[in-house]
Structure 1
């Protein structure tokens, strides 16, 4: 089995927020939520936010995989870690959304393609 994946660069930019005292966001303008003992993590579309750190996403949904396929996420975040690119990940049942800081997009694409992945614009 090959772990090389075809990724789609997501056209929008994202914001990652930590809401330490929340169990739900105050609005419905979110893409993903993760509730943990230390609070709520929210991923949002960054377009309405002018001065927040922006993240760009690479989605592995071009070739969906199930949750029982080992190593798929590691095959993506490993090369990014080796290149020193920070990541934030939101996974679905069939795919992963790997976010990297917008200013590190070029580094991320280079690391992923060098590892054998294909990144479609």
Structure 2
């Protein structure tokens, strides 16, 4: 059983061309309970951020809700599998990303209730 927090607001998954400069709104870091993730790849820069921080000119898929799994350590195993498995069975599409000690799941905002019900049925607890 895992404890998850539902973060406030909606999120976007964004794509910028490689070499693009990030706007200040993304380099300052979040000032609330939100999270921002920036990943530099060879061909693109991927950004996950609150909808109100989507970079100008970015290709963006908006209307995602973010669930945070905290208090993890790198020795733990099966964390994402215990979340992704039930959601896959329910055919809820997701985007995942991680930091050193936190995993995040994005679920479509229109399927949030279904995702929460699926995860709680699998034994997880979700706080908002």
**TM-score normalised per structure 2:** 0.79
Unaligned runs of 5+ in 2: 30-35, 55-59
- Alignment partner of 1:75 is 2:82: yes
Match of 1:36 among 22, 26, 41: 41
What is the CA-CA distance between 1:34 and the residue it aligns to?
Answer: 1.2
**Runs of at least 4 residues off by over 4 Å:** none
The 8 Å contact of residues 14 and 54 in structure 1, kept in 2 or not, is answered as yes
> Within 2, Cα distance between the matches of 1:21 and 1:115?
39
What is the CA-CA distance between 1:28 and the residue it aligns to?
Answer: 3.4
**Cα deviation 1:54-95 (Å, max 9, x = unaligned):** 11011111xx11112111111111111111111111211112
**TM-score normalised per structure 1:** 0.83
Give the total of aligned pairs. Answer: 115
Q: 1:47 corresponds to which residue?
A: 52
The DSSP-based 3-state class of the residue aligned with 1:77 is helix
Aligned in 2, Cα 1:52/1:36: closer, same or farther, shift over 3 Å?
A: closer
Decide which structure has greater helix share: 2
> Within 1, Cα distance between the matches of 2:19 and 2:82?
33
What is the CA-CA distance between 1:118 and the residue it aligns to?
Answer: 0.6
Give 1:9-20 correspondences, 5 Å limit.
Answer: 9-20=6-17
